């Protein structure tokens, strides 16, 4: 295998890992936090830290913590997990989804003052920008498929 393909593959897999880690790492506590806020009316605390209290970014627009706001963050995290799975499977939609989700993720990360979210987003984006979309893979798979079909064509018997 060419070194460029291996490098591109590793960068894409690392971006997928970061997306999965970020989506699950923020999404699972947010799912619990949504239920907690809907039940008790205030944000859940984890090891003494408030998990989903609004920060200055949301407050300047008059947005305060509510369970629909946290549920929206859960949806963004679920989309990020889907993005990570698509990237891991080397699907072109994963690359586009990663770039499309970034503005929504940045808004929630800034709104809930989550310091590690932007770091993961920058790492994921840099990895995707350094990796090239692999069009050669699809060409090779088409060639393999056509070769496979050629082998399966039944032989015709010659007429006497």
Taking CB atoms within 8 Å and a gap of at least 24, the contacts of 133-138 are 133/92, 133/95, 134/5, 134/8, 134/9, 134/90, 136/5, 137/90
Is 73 inside a domain boundary? yes
- Model confidence pLDDT, tens digit, residues 73-113: 999 999 999 999 999 998 889 999 999 999 999 999 988 88
Is 151 inside a domain boundary? no
Is 102 inside a domain boundary? yes
* 3-state class (DSSP) for residue 11: helix
The answer on pLDDT for 140 being more than 50 is no
* Structure tokens given for 120: 């993961």
Is 108 inside a domain boundary? yes
> Residue 66 belongs to what domain range?
3-133
Is 33 inside a domain boundary? yes
Q: Which DSSP symbol is given to 153? A: S
- Going by DSSP bridges, is the β-strand pair 45-46/49-50 parallel, antiparallel, or unpaired? antiparallel
- For residues 70 and 67, what is the distance between their CA atoms, to the nearest angstrom? 5
Average pLDDT for residues 52-71, to the nearest whole number?
84
pLDDT attached to residue 103: 93
pLDDT attached to residue 23: 93
Is 104 inside a domain boundary? yes
pLDDT attached to residue 145: 52
The answer on pLDDT for 60 being more than 90 is no
Residue 78's H or E segment, with its range, is helix 67-88
Q: Which DSSP symbol is given to 17? A: H
The answer on pLDDT for 139 being more than 90 is no
* Structure tokens given for 47: 């090891």
CA distances for 111 relative to 14, 60, 101, 157, angstroms: 26, 10, 15, 72
pTM: 0.75
Provide the number of structural domains found in the chain. Answer: 1
- Model confidence pLDDT, tens digit, residues 13-59: 999 999 999 999 999 999 998 998 889 888 887 777 777 788 888 88
Q: Which DSSP symbol is given to 32? A: H
The answer on pLDDT for 150 being more than 80 is no
């Amino acid at each position: 295998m060419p070194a460029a393909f291996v490098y591109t593959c590793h960068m894409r897999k690392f971006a997928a890992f970061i997306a999965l880690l970020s989506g699950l790492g923020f999404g699972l506590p947010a799912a619990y936090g949504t239920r907690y806020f809907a039940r008790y009316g205030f944000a859940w605390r984890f090891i003494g830290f408030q998990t989903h209290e609004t920060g200055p970014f949301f407050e300047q627009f008059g947005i305060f913590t509510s369970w629909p706001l946290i549920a929206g963050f859960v949806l963004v995290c679920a989309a990020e997990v889907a993005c990570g799975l698509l990237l891991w499977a080397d699907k072109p939609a994963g690359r586009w989804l990663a770039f499309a989700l970034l503005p929504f993720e940045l808004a929630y990360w800034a709104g809930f003052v989550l310091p590690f979210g932007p770091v993961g987003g920058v790492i994921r984006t840099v990895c995707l920008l350094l990796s090239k979309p692999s069009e050669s893979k699809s060409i090779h798979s088409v060639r393999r498929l056509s070769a496979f079909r050629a082998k399966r064509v039944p032989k015709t018997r010659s007429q006497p």
